[in-house]
Amino acid sequence: RSTASGGRKGDEFVPLKSSIRTSHTTWCDNAPCLNDPHVLALTERISNVTRVPATNSEFIQLLRYEACPHARDPSCQYYRRHHDTIPELADMPCGPRVYTFFLYLSDVEEGGGTRFDGGFTVQPKAGRAVLWPATLNDRPFEKDDRTHHEALPVLKGTKFAANYWIHQYDYVSAHHSGCTA
């Protein structure tokens, strides 16, 4: 199972095994990945699109979802309905997550979409990106309830994707100072 930002234990955050997420994940949080020309170009492009400095973003999280025989099979990998906010971050120097930039890195033959509460689903296609708010524009410390979403099971193929979470303030400096989850 994947881990998630569990909660505080004293002054620290403790990762917990997730009960709502079973995808494979890894982070682009080491020098070879962070300095890769493709990663640098991607972060610059996202910064240009969002008009938010790259320093406001968490490390890229890479995802892999394997196929399962049918949507109700216990072997299916998923990320159940959730929201991308982490309330504990709102009081930290980096501020809350304000946007999610989600990038599909592969085509999926069947299933694997990202379904939002509003009744629409984005199907995976290599190169496709989706940008959505985590907070309200006029109240950046308040969660935008319109953007609860879930990763649907992949029924045929493999889904590769990337999360790029953008904060209200400088995340990189806060992270290096130990002031993030």
The answer to whether the CB of 127 falls within 8 A of the CB of 120 is: no
In tens, the pLDDT along 27-84 reads 999 999 999 999 999 999 999 999 999 999 999 999 999 999 888 888 888 889 999 9
pTM more than 0.95: no
In tens, the pLDDT along 90-142 reads 899 999 999 999 999 999 999 999 999 989 999 999 999 999 999 999 999 99
Question: What confidence score (pLDDT) does residue 60 get?
Answer: 98
DSSP 3-state assignment of 95?
coil
Per-domain boundaries in the chain: 3-176
Distance CA 181, CA 174 (A): 10
The mean predicted confidence, pLDDT, of the chain is 90
Reading the block at residue 169, the tokens are 């303030």
Question: What confidence score (pLDDT) does residue 74 get?
Answer: 85
HSE-CB at 163 with a 13 A cutoff on CA atoms is: 22
Q: Is 161 left (phi over 0), alpha (psi -120 to 50) or beta?
A: beta
- The average pLDDT across 166-177 equals 95
CATH, range 3-176: 2.60.120.620
- At residue 176, does pLDDT exceed 80? yes
